[in-house]
Amino acid sequence: MFEIEYKGGNTVVITTKKATLIADPKQSVVGLKDILVKDVIEVATEPRFAINGQDSLLSIEGPGEYEISDFSIRGISAHRHLDADENEERLSTIYRVEVGEARIAILGNVASKLSEDQLEQIGVIDILVVPVGGNGYTLDATSAVAITGQIDPKAVIPVHYADDGLKYEVQQDHLDVFVKELGSPLETVSKYKVKGAASLPTSLTVIEITRS
């Protein structure tokens, strides 16, 4: 059993009885306090979203395979959606995280179409975490819907959308734009609790996790 919380921006927290994994913990980029917690596993889709806390169990910022506590993690090379300075590498990392029988994909601000090689490395996925806010910074609703179709998860958790409590670099679209374009049922929760593979939706469902 595990649960997923949404903290704003690209940040999600996955917690089991034994361990905690935080994706993109540097929340100062959206006007919040960075998440500094002891004995956590950090994964960053880009180095600028990493904290590399001294008390972390492990900090990951790029491709590779890692086994730690309840998590099996694969980092997959990708490119950023945001146009970078020509002298700056546009590198990003997609993460496949296995927790028990469940398989989770965490996408950052990636380019709008995944390659066959990336899809093969991502593999079969139950839960997809994907930014949807658009306006040149992240995937927009249309691109996020297309990538959701490529990955074909059972549940999709949208992140990085308009929120009056956050300070984004550019204005983000509201969540309902993505939900309308995807056309799948919407479930709103404060935490997404997964007891096992049998508790996952039988058909694609949008899981809106209220920011905590």
CATH number, residue 125: 3.60.15.10
Kindly list the distances between the CA atom of residue 128 and the CA atoms of 151, 153, 157, in Å, as whole numbers in the listed order: 8, 6, 6
Question: Does 151 reside within a domain?
Answer: yes
Question: Does 193 reside within a domain?
Answer: yes
Structural contact between residues 106 and 9, judged by C-beta atoms closer than 8 angstroms: no
Question: Does 194 reside within a domain?
Answer: yes
pLDDT value at residue 147: 97
CA distance 55 to 52: 9
CA distance 194 to 152: 18
CA distance 75 to 186: 29
User: Which residue type is seen at 102?
Assistant: A
Domain that includes residue 173, residue range: 62-209
Question: Does 89 reside within a domain?
Answer: yes
CA distance 109 to 190: 24
pTM of the full structure: 0.95
Question: Does 24 reside within a domain?
Answer: no
pLDDT value at residue 88: 52
pLDDT value at residue 86: 47
User: Which residue type is seen at 92?
Assistant: S
Average pLDDT along the chain, 212 residues, taken 10 residues at a time:
97 97 96 92 95 91 96 95 55 95 95 93 98 92 97 98 95 97 98 92 97 95
Question: Does 44 reside within a domain?
Answer: no
Per the structure, the count of domains in the chain is 1
CA distance 88 to 44: 18
Structure tokens at 69: 């506590």
